[in-house]
Each structure stands twice: as C-alpha cells, then as structure tokens.
Amino acid sequence: MSTTAARGSHPAAVAAGDDIPVNRRRRSEVWPALAFISPWIVGFGIFTLWPVIYSGYLSLTDYDVINPPSFVGLANYEQLWNDPKIALSLKNTLYYTVLSVPLHLVGALFLALLLNQAGRATGFFRTAFFLPKMTPPVAVGVLLLLLLNGQSGVLNEVLGWFGVDGPSWTTDPSWVKPGLILMSMWTIGSTVIIILAALRDVPQELHDAAMVDGAGPWQRTWRITIPMISPTLFFVLIVNTISAFQMFTEAYTAYFGSGNSTYSNDAALFYVVYLFRQGFEFLYMGYASAMAWVLFVIIMAVTAIQFWGSRKFVFYQGDQR
C-alpha cells in the first residue's frame, strides 16, 4: 500500500513520510488534519474498535440481548468445536470458495482477454458483462430458484436439447452448491473489468519486442500478459476469497425462510448464514460472536497463506519484493 503515496506525480506527497522531522509548519498541520479526519476516528472507535473488543468479550459469554451477558469462559468455543453444523457450514463454505474463486478467476481472465480483442465494440460487450453485477443479490437468489429450477427451469430445458437430463439444482442437496456457484458466475463482471484494466496497462512495447523475437500469440499471453497482470490477478484472488468466505445473501434468500414460513437447506448452510441465524434468529449472541472470531482467524490465515504462496507467482514490475 505504501506505493499509493509514491505516485510519482506528486513529489510533495512522496516526501511526506513518517520519518521526516517535524518542523514548525508541520506541527501546525496536525490539528486541522485531525479535524478533517475526525469523522473517521470517531466512527472507527464506535463502529470498529469497540465492536471488535466487545465481540471478543461476548464470545466468552452467554447472551440473548434480554438478560445481561453471563461469563462462561471458553464454553462457546468448546461447543463450536463439537457442533456438527459448524463442521457442515465450514465444509459448505470451503466447497463454495475452493470452486467458485478459481472459476471466477479463470472465467474473468478469459472474458477479459476476449474483450481486449474486441476493438471498437468493447463498450457494448463490457456493459453486457457488467450489468448482472448491478443486480441486487436478493434478485440473484430469486433468479437462481427460477432459472435453475429442476422441473421447468430454462437451464435444464437447454440441457435437454442436448439429451442431458439436468439435475434438481435447487432441491437435490448434492447439486445446491454447484447451482449457487453457477449462478455466481453470472456476476463475474466486476472482476472482468478489473482484469481488463490491467490488460490495457501492459506496455505494447513488450508485445512488439516478443513478436520480433518470434513469439506467437499463445506464448505472448502466457509469458508476457499473464506475468504482467499477475499483481491484479492476485488482488482479485484475495478479494474474491475473502468475499466467498462471507457468502450470505444469495444462499440465504434462496434457501432460508424467515418470518412466517421457515424453511432451511443444510446444503446451503454457509458459515455466515449459520452465524446470522445463531445471532439474530435464535439470539445466541455469545455463540455467534465466537463464530465471528473463528471466521476472522480463518480469513486472516487463508489470506496470509495466499500472500506467502504468491511470492513465486506474482511479478511486481520495478519492485523487488
């Protein structure tokens, strides 16, 4: 992130680091700066710092909002360890993440490479690809139930043309997650745009030079384009993994009834869905807080592993990392 200050366009911004001696003029800038930043500082204190600390405390208590929290030590974590639904929801979440993240990455890269070849029509196609991303996730959940419906859904109708007897995507427990993943591919658009922007930044000189050396289009894609955009691919990988771990709205919409009609589907019981139900439907706020902390630790660990693993594969231009 430090590079953000060193944008090159603004020497003054570059010079302003922590290690610059604080002179008089600078000292006078602290207060106006803090005045401008104060909304964030206040908000950070109230809506981030305190909640983080308090949820840590709550995770050690039994709390149902009505009665005051009662301290139970690590009992919630112990219960969590033995809760088969936790294991199930973790398994579901991992299944979804492990399949959807690489599929999104490869799919978006493919579409971005295609778009990069589109010439003047890029704008039209980009709009078409991005539009689904605008759709409210609730509506995506509804669409999932409609389009992937086992009996009359359009997907199975199309599969039928090819003689394939499509599965019951929305009811068969072993097909519920593949259905969700398939539907999530529909909202791939923002990833495509991020990758396309990176493709546009690959210097043409590199391609020209490789062409002079006799490299064909495939070689240039694998040896130049992909390494050059690897930081962006890595960024997308991190962000998409973190959000896949927190999958909620589409699954909750489609498979968990609230209000008068309650229904649920264990195959779509993702971790955050389970957490939400524990906290806000069953009011086990202490237990849900413990769940949240476990999720936090898992996400941090996975991100750390990804950073560690990326050292070999991510190429930072002009930056020896």
Partner 1 sequence: MTALEPRPTALPVPEMSDRALRFASDEETGPTGDDPGTRRGGHAGRSRGRRLAWQISVGALLLFFSVLFIYPFVWLLSASFKPRGEVFDNRLIPKTFTFDNYLTVWEQAPMAAWLVNTVIVTVLATVTVTMSSAMVAWGFAYFRFKGRNALFGLVLGTMMLPGAVTMIPTFLIWNALGQVGTLTPLWAGNLFGSAFYIFLLRQFFLGLPRELFDAAKVDGANNWTIFWRVALPLCRPALVVTFLFEFQASWTDLMRSLIYLRDAADFTVPRGLKSLLDRYGFGGEWHWEIVVTASVITTIPVIILFFIGQKQFVAGIATTGSKG
In the range 77-136, which residues lie near partner 1 by CB under 8 A? 111, 114-132, 134-136
With contacts defined by CB under 8 A, name the span among 86-94, 95-103, 172-180, 299-307 that binds partner 1. 299-307
| Sequence letter at residue 36 | F
Instruction: Report the C-alpha gap between 79 and 70 in whole angstroms.
Output: 16
Give least dist CB 138 to partner 1, A: 4
Rank residues 32 and 73 by Cβ distance to partner 1 and give the closer one: 32
Which residue type is seen at 52?
V
Cα–Cα nearest to 270, from 181, 186, 204, 162: 181
Would you call 202 helix, strand, or coil by DSSP? coil
For residue 259, give both structure tokens: 């209000």
Interface map 163-192 toward partner 1 (x if CB under 8 A): -----------------------x--xx--
**C-beta of 30 vs 74, nearer to partner 1:** 30
Q: Which of 97, 128, 99 is nearest to 111 (CA)?
A: 128
**Measured in whole angstroms, how far is the alpha carbon of residue 247 from the centre of its chain?**
8
Query: Helix or strand or coil: residue 71?
Result: strand
Sequence-separated (6 or more) residues with CB below 8 Å from residue 270:
89, 92, 93, 96, 247, 248, 251
Question: Which among 257, 266, 251, 104 has a CA at the least distance from the CA of 180?
Answer: 251
Q: Is 266 in the site for partner 1 (CB under 8 A)?
A: no
Considering only residues 88, 137, 150, 227, which one is a binding residue for partner 1 as defined by CB under 8 A?
Answer: 137
Shortest spacing between CB 84 and partner 1, in angstroms: 20
Among 70, 74, 81, 258, binds partner 1 (CB under 8 A): 258
Q: Please tell me the distance from the alpha carbon of residue 226 to that of residue 240, in angstroms, as a whole number.
A: 18
Indicate which single residue of 162, 259, 308, 312 sits in contact with partner 1 (rule: CB under 8 A).
Answer: 259
- Told to check if 290 binds partner 1 by CB under 8 A, we report no
Count, residues near partner 1 per rule CB under 8 A: 139
To the nearest whole angstrom, how small is the minimum distance from the Cβ of residue 71 to partner 1? 17
Is 308 an interacting residue with respect to partner 1 (CB under 8 A)?
no
DSSP three-state, residue 7: coil
Q: Which stretch, 80-88, 89-97, 161-169, 271-279, contacts partner 1 (CB under 8 A)? A: 271-279
